[in-house]
């Protein structure tokens, strides 16, 4: 039997390790079904919330994958950032843009590997 340290557990979570990630996905799927929104609107609303919370890059990575599946375009994501900038502030939008870029670069690297 192996014992996992808290550091190992957190590292696994940061790398997308289950079962925590599976639980998060299940919660999100239930939320989508209950929202009554179409897929692209749902993802855009959630991206706006991530920006407002100054979420980490891993949160953006998960939502960018969903955005792609929902057909959200880069132009729509940029429009979202422009629309919420007066409310959340330019610093949050710039921070989010950098995290989104890092998350999409990491996803592209993973897809190419």
| Alpha carbon 65 to its chain's center | 8
Residue with tokens 């997308």: 16
pLDDT, position 57: 85
Q: Which of 97-103's residues contact partners 24+ apart within 8 Å by CB, and which partners?
A: 99/55, 99/56, 99/57, 99/60, 100/60, 100/64, 102/57, 103/57, 103/58, 103/60, 103/61, 103/64
99: Cα separation from own chain's centroid? 10
Q: What is the pLDDT of residue 1?
A: 45
Count how many residues are written for the chain: 113
**Backbone phi, psi, residue 56, to 5°:** -80, 165
User: What pLDDT shows up at residue 43?
Assistant: 93
Question: How would you write the pLDDT of the chain (113 residues) with one tens digit per residue?
Answer: 456 666 665 666 566 556 766 777 777 778 888 899 999 999 999 999 999 999 988 888 888 888 888 999 888 988 999 999 999 999 999 999 888 888 877 777 777 76
Crossing angle for the helix pair 74-88 and 90-112, to the nearest 10 degrees:
150
Q: What integer pLDDT is reported at residue 49 of this predicted model?
A: 96
- Ranges of each domain in the chain: 17-112
Provide the pLDDT for residue 21. Answer: 66
pTM: predicted TM-score of the whole model, two decimal places: 0.71
Instruction: Specify the pLDDT at position 68.
Output: 86
């Amino acid at each position: 039997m192996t014992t996992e340290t808290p550091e190992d557990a957190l590292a696994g979570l940061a790398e997308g390790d289950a079962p925590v990630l599976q639980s998060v996905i299940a919660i999100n799927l239930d939320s989508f079904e209950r929202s009554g929104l179409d897929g692209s609107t749902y993802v855009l609303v959630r991206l706006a919330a991530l920006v407002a919370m100054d979420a980490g890059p891993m949160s953006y990575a998960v939502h960018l994958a969903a955005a792609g599946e929902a057909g959200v375009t880069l132009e729509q994501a940029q429009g979202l950032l422009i629309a919420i900038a007066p409310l959340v502030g330019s610093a949050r939008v710039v921070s989010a843009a950098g995290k989104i870029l890092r998350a999409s670069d990491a996803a592209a690297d993973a897809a190419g590997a």
